[in-house]
A and B are shown apart, each in its own frame.
Chain A
């Protein structure tokens, strides 16, 4: 990456324990404004899992209000294999959605995750963050440009002096 490359990190679903039949709350819709021609990597991470998953899909919207699904964990993965939803055996693994931000795609994105409704089981520990990669020439890097949620902080490592 050269000095004109930019990124923005979006905390999408905060680390949370999701109970029976519950949809994980999204704390920030992913707004890709300014990253046209770039790439969005959505990183869904599982911790301790006890339940099945009933929904694990990516949706997009032109207005942040009306949503349509365009990717699903049951789609074919990057290896060409039929995908599967995370289940009780999917502890400590990642589901990655790689989305090219070309003209086919809309501006807003979200991941909808819902657990199964079977009873008597522990909850699923999950979290999701996204990173937008692209070029915004002349864009200064600040915490508010590099992150989205209020109160977030960005640190840049310095090389050895």
Chain B
């Protein structure tokens, strides 16, 4: 990566225990404005999973109001294998969605994750990182993160 490369981290679904038949609350919609031509990588991190998921997909929107689904956990993965919904056996794994921000894609994105109506709660967290080039953008915490109160630190090398 050269010095013009930029990124932004978005805490999308805060770490939480999702109850039966609940949809995880999205705390920040992913706004990719300024990152056209870059890449959006969404990580769904699973902790203790008490029940299967009934929804796990990514949606996009032009207006941050009407969202349509374009990639989901039941699609074919990068290994060419048929995807599956999260089950109670998927403790401590990741689901990663790799989304090139090319012309076909819209500006806003959300993850829709809903639990089934089975047993206990499921611990889920979603992070997104947008990578691209925004020449001349200063690297402040507000450039590098989205949610209020967040902090960014950069390692100082010897």
List residues of chain A with CB under 8 Å of any chain B CB: 1, 5, 7, 9, 11, 14-17, 27, 38-39, 41, 43, 45-48, 58, 70-71, 73, 75-79, 83-84, 89-100, 102, 104-105, 125-127, 129, 131, 133-134, 141-143, 146-160
Contact = CB atoms under 8 A, between A and B. Distances in A.
B136 interface: no
Contacts of A83: 151, 153
Provide the main secondary structure of the chain B interface. Answer: strand
B66 interface: no
A78 B141 contact: yes
A1 B94 contact: no
A150 B77 CA distance: 15
Contacts of B105: 157, 159
A158 B70 CA distance: 9
Contacts of A78: 139-141, 144, 152-154
A41 B102 CA distance: 23
Contacts of B98: 7, 141, 146, 154-157
A15 B47 contact: yes
**Nearest 8 CB-CB pairs, A to B?**
A14-B47, A15-B47, A127-B125, A47-B15, A159-B104, A93-B149, A104-B157, A152-B94
B27 interface: yes
Nearest to B60: A157
B88 interface: no
Residue in A83, A152, A159 with the greatest tally of chain B CB atoms within 10 Å:
A152
Interface of B: 1, 5, 7, 9-11, 14-17, 27, 38-39, 41, 43, 45-48, 58, 70-73, 75-79, 83, 90-100, 102-105, 123-125, 127, 129, 131-132, 139-141, 144-145, 147-155, 157-158
A94 B148 CA distance: 9
A35 B51 CA distance: 36
Contacts of A150: 93
